Amino acid sequence: MSGKLFVIGLGPGSPAQATPEALSAVADSAFFYGYGPYLDRLDLRQDQTRVASDNREELFRARAALEKAASGAAVAVVSGGDPGVFAMAAAVCEAIEAGPPAWRNIELVIVPGVTAMLAVAARAGAPLGHDFCAISLSDNLKPWELIERRLTLAAEAGFVIALYNPISKARPWQLGRALELLAEKLPPKTPVIFGRAAGRPDERITVFELATAEASRADMATCVIIGSTETRLIERPGRAPLVYSPRFSRGASA
């Protein structure tokens, strides 16, 4: 008899940002599969088992969890943020599509969470107040040429752009190149938000103009939000400025 598989998003890091639905799914699960630092955020009971794996082993993790669920167990695959945004929900679906027919009979429950761009946006104001998109700068699963094309077209179309996976030791140059491309399409004063570890004790939210934004200010814990031509700053004496994109729009940039 097949068990149940939860795919849980724990939010960007703060325990206060984990939803009641996510906490309920954690309580109902017996086996937990995930990247070690995400599993470390859980306060598991003695009768609950954690199975940690490396950050780049998403498909292996999904298959292992599905095998355990197919045996009748209540299983959780754990993601940070929202599991459907550059995270484990897609890997689980990919494994089901390519896996044995029995995996399609498993009860699958995908539990949403607060994704990084929402947490960063809330700290900065309302930069996602109008149309926006999210782009991962990782070229592990897609060619860099495609990423450049998407960045260029998104800027031309007037989208606010949230960048995930902006920089790593393996690809230290890509965020810098992305900022160069966007500077060709957007005004120099376009607001750029570097949101690191939103909601955690080491949170750092900084706002720059596109002309002065430096890729070195980001790491893998950072979500970068680049405004559109209509995104604005509201200066506040003694407080950080508010960044927001008006609900109305005059149209895409020329």
The dihedrals phi and psi of 168, each to the nearest 5 degrees, come to -155, 175
**Which neighbouring-strand residues pair with 164?**
136
**Which DSSP helix (H) or strand (E) runs through 144?**
helix 144-157
pLDDT in tens, 182-235: 999 999 999 999 999 898 889 999 999 999 999 999 998 999 999 999 999 999
What percent of the chain lies above the pLDDT cut of 70? 98
pTM (two decimals)? 0.93
> At 114, which amino acid appears?
V
Last residue of a domain, one of 81, 114, 147: 114
Structurally, the chain folds into a number of domains equal to 2
Nearest to 164 by CA among 98, 81, 58: 81
Answer whether residue 224 is part of any domain: yes
Whether residues 156 and 218 share a domain: the answer is yes
Nearest to 122 by CA among 192, 199, 211: 199
Whether residues 236 and 133 share a domain: the answer is yes
Q: What is the pLDDT of residue 1?
A: 64
Alpha-carbon gap, residue 227 to 237, rounded angstroms: 22
Last residue of a domain, one of 79, 114, 149: 114
Q: What is the pLDDT of residue 75?
A: 98
Domain hosting 239: range is 117-244
| CB-CB contact of 33 with 61 (8 Å) | yes
pLDDT in tens, 159-192: 999 999 999 888 899 999 999 999 999 999 999 9
Q: Quick one: average pLDDT of 111-140? A: 97
Nearest to 223 by CA among 245, 200, 246: 200
Helix axes 174-183, 144-157, angle to 10 degrees: 30
If you average pLDDT over every residue of the chain, what do you get? 95
Alpha-carbon gap, residue 175 to 219, rounded angstroms: 10
51: confidence class by pLDDT, cuts 50, 70, 90: very high
User: If DSSP states are collapsed to H, E and C, what string results for 148-188?
Assistant: HHHHHHHHHHCCEEEEECCCCCCCCCHHHHHHHHHHCCCCC
Alpha-carbon gap, residue 244 to 236, rounded angstroms: 13
Q: Which residues contact 139 (CB under 8 A, 6 or more apart)?
A: 147, 171, 174
Q: What is the pLDDT of residue 28?
A: 97
pLDDT exceeds 50 at position 128: yes
Whether residues 174 and 125 share a domain: the answer is yes
Last residue of a domain, one of 114, 145, 161: 114
Q: Quick one: average pLDDT of 49-57? A: 91
Whether residues 106 and 144 share a domain: the answer is no
Answer whether residue 250 is part of any domain: no
